[in-house]
Amino acid sequence: MKSSPHLLKGFPLGAVLVLSACATISTQAQSEYTRAQTEVQQLQTDPLANQAAGKPLQQARDALSRAADAIQHHNTADVMHWSYLAARRAEIGEAMVAELRARNQVASATAERVRILLDSQRRRTEVAQQQARQAEQHAQDASQQLQQERQQNQTQQAQQQIQQAQQQEQQAQQQEQQAKQQLEELQARETARGMVLTLSGSLLFATGRDTVQPGAIQSLDNVARFMQQHPMMKIRVQGFTDSRGSDELNDALSQRRAQAVSNALQSSGVDPSRLQAIGRGKSLPVASNDTAAGRQQNRRVELLFSDTAGEFASNQSGQQFQ
Amino acid sequence: MRKQIHLMAVPVAVLLAGGCASTPPPVGELSSAHALVSQAEQSDAPRYDSADLTSAQNKLQQADDNAKEHPSLSARLAQQAAVDAELALARTRAHKEQDALQQVDASLAALRSETEQPPAGAVAPNAVPPGGAQP
């Protein structure tokens, strides 16, 4: 009797009864019952069984228990019938478990799909942002480079212009210097008004006449040659007299003599636009009119030279008091 | 094989149930079996589980045939036909869900191969520096 609870524990109740009452039911019914037991056990060990197939599992257990009762009552037909129903109910439960398992997998696969899509979208966005940042950086770099190049160009141009201006100024100064030296060779002297070449009246003209004498033509030719070397330069030809005689006569005479010198220069090749003849009469004496020698000095024609650019040191063309 | 065994069970049952003939036809069992079998016929069971559906139809036919003369046998045939039809329905639903899973798995695999290659293929031509595309 000690081994009997052991047996009951180790084997399903139905199996024990079958063993004890085997003589009265068919072996086919026995195997049907065993098959049903196996199906039911298989179902109830599935972790999803209660959730997915609670009802068919219960129905299968009920049918199995009825089959066990039938074994006890030696009713082969009932054993067959309830075993069949129990097995089929268990199979229905297994199909329902399989359905739920597949549905859960569909759900997780769908979630995975969404996760992958979002992930790839996020990655694409990141790549695009990265590219945009790089493009912006490139554009900034390019713009900076362009600006630097422009600045360098501007600086170079400005430096070139400064150099050119300095060169031009140097050339102008050299020309000016050269002109001054040449004028000094022609016996001109430097005054506040500019370079002045004084031609003595007695050399230029016979007394009371306004025709330039042949002896003076040589020195006027030298002036004309000088003027050809400095094409921008201009001359103011100013005639002066001593104080003898009326102002009207002196003014007119000095004007005529200035004009005569101007004409002579013109004849030697100086363009009339570069010449201006002005009669200044007895004004601005360079010596005393009380002596004959002084008066002779006062009778003169002065050539006032502009700078090499054509500008006179003082712009007062009719200056009386210099 | 299984169907053969069940069909063989029928004559045995007939022999055992033959004794009592005065009970009325199993109206309730028959009508619920008819309802389930026709439900299974209208579902996708003919395509997914024709074996169980055929078994249900055969047993229902036999249950109808025996309704008057062998009501007890008819009732059991009707119960078995009903449970066969339920099984056909359950297996059909499970099959359809598994088909759906296959489709989702296939599209997931396609998506994986699409999205896991592009990062390597799309990043290189645009010369993103190494590590730049990493999240």
Are B79 and A91 in contact (CB < 8 Å)?
no
Q: Which of B8, B98, B115 sits opposite A116 (nearest CB)?
A: B115
Task: Choose the mutation target among B32, B87, B112, B114 for the interface with A, i.e. most A CBs under 10 Å.
Answer: B87
Q: Mean pLDDT across the stretch A274-293?
A: 91
The residue whose two tokens read 């399989």 is: A98
Q: Is A186 helix (H, G, I), strand (E, B) or coil?
A: coil
Looking at per-residue pLDDT, the higher value among B6 and A70 belongs to A70
**pLDDT for A78 beyond 90:** yes
How far is A30 from A264, CA to CA, in rounded Å? 160
pLDDT digit string, tens, across residues A104-118: 999 999 999 999 989
Q: How is residue B67 written in tokens?
A: 């309704």
Q: Give backbone dihedrals phi and psi of A28, rounded to 5 degrees, phi first.
A: -65, -45
Q: Which of A32, A77, A88 sits opposite B16 (nearest CB)?
A: A77
pLDDT at B15: 46
- List of residues 6+ apart from B32 with CB closer than 8 A: B78, B82
Are B104 and A106 in contact (CB < 8 Å)?
yes
Are A106 and B100 in contact (CB < 8 Å)?
yes
Q: What is the pLDDT along chain B (135 residues), one digit of tens a residue?
A: 444 445 444 444 444 444 444 678 899 999 999 999 999 999 999 999 999 999 999 999 999 999 999 999 999 999 999 999 999 999 999 999 999 999 999 999 998 888 775 544 444 444 444 444 444
How far is A267 from A254, CA to CA, in rounded Å? 20
Tell if the pTM clears 0.80, that is, is over it: no
pLDDT-derived band at A189 (thresholds 50, 70, 90) equals confident
Query: Mean pLDDT score of chain A, rounded to an integer?
Result: 87
Distance from CA of A31 to the nearest CA of B (A): 11
Are A113 and B108 in contact (CB < 8 Å)?
yes
Q: Mean pLDDT across the stretch A62-91?
A: 96
Are B135 and A126 in contact (CB < 8 Å)?
yes
How far is B2 from B7, CA to CA, in rounded Å? 9
Cβ-based neighbour number of residue A1 at 10 Å: 4
Q: In chain B, how long is the greatest CA-to-CA distance?
A: 92
Report ipTM (2 d.p.): 0.73
pLDDT at B117: 54
Write b or e for each residue in B9-46: b if 16 or more Cβ atoms lie within 10 A of its Cβ, otherwise e.
Answer: bbeebbebbeeeeeeebbeebbebbbebbeebeebebe
A-to-B residue pairs, Cβ atoms closer than 8 angstroms: 109
Strand order in the sheet with A194-200: A189-191, A194-200, A300-305, A235-240, A275-279
pLDDT-derived band at A9 (thresholds 50, 70, 90) equals very low
pLDDT at A63: 97
**pLDDT for A322 beyond 90:** no
